[in-house]
Amino acid sequence: MRAVEGVNVYDPVRAIDVYLVPNIVVPKKFRVPDFVKYTRLECLNIYLRPYCNKRAKVIHDDKLLTHFFQDSLTSSTLSWYMILDNARIKKWSDLANAFLRQYKFNIDISPDRTSLMIMDKSNKKTVREYAHKRKNKVLHVQPSLLEKEMVTLFTNTFKSPYYEYLMGSFAQHLCDVVVIAKRIEKGVRADKISKPTEKNRVCREKERC
């Protein structure tokens, strides 16, 4: 209504009132680091940790931690920050807890061991692309996977002829298994390793059952 009536909408006094952190004092020569913007797809805990790490110089200054958190947000997450009630956000822990409550669904739908077990390497994806996709999911699994678990889960998602060769290897580290899988991929593409026919595939599946 004020805008329609022609009243100056930008009022410095009102602008100060809507600041989440009033009376903020930024130290001289302070440089705001670049942040990876939160897109609502990242794990919350993993996202908050690097933010605090980048704010190491002011980690004990709740006002600065809270004020500059907006620089790591974008789109709807930034809109959420801007409408927070400054009467309820008094310190960094208040903001962090509000952030966790708001986007808790990211924790609820985060990958687990079962989701890694049912992943399948598409024929359209290269081994490198598939390994990279799994790596991003593994980072979000809690509790963290042991190296042996990662090797087993990764190997079991492959089909023939990858599966047989990977199972026959003695690799104990995931990076080594990925290297072997890449070699198998090159062999398949060069027709040096034959792909199983549909008949052989069905027979092998019956033998496993």
> Which range is most confident: 4-18, 132-146, 181-195?
181-195
- In single-letter form, the type of residue at position 43 comes to C
Q: How confident is the model at residue 53 (pLDDT cuts 50, 70, 90)?
A: confident
Other beta carbons within 10 Å of 90: 13
DSSP letter (8 states) at residue 91: S
b/e code 4-29 from CB counts within 10 Å (16+ = b): eeeeeeeeeeeeeeeebbeeeeeeee
Average pLDDT over residues 39-65: 71
The percent of residues above 90 in pLDDT, for the chain, comes to: 13
Other beta carbons within 10 Å of 138: 18
**pLDDT tens sequence across 82-128:** 889 888 888 888 998 888 888 776 655 556 677 777 787 877 789 99
Q: What gap in Å lies between CA 40 and CA 79, rounded to an integer?
A: 13
Question: What residue segments make up the domains of the chain, in order of their start?
Answer: 12-107, 113-208
Q: Give me the pLDDT at residue 196, please.
A: 65
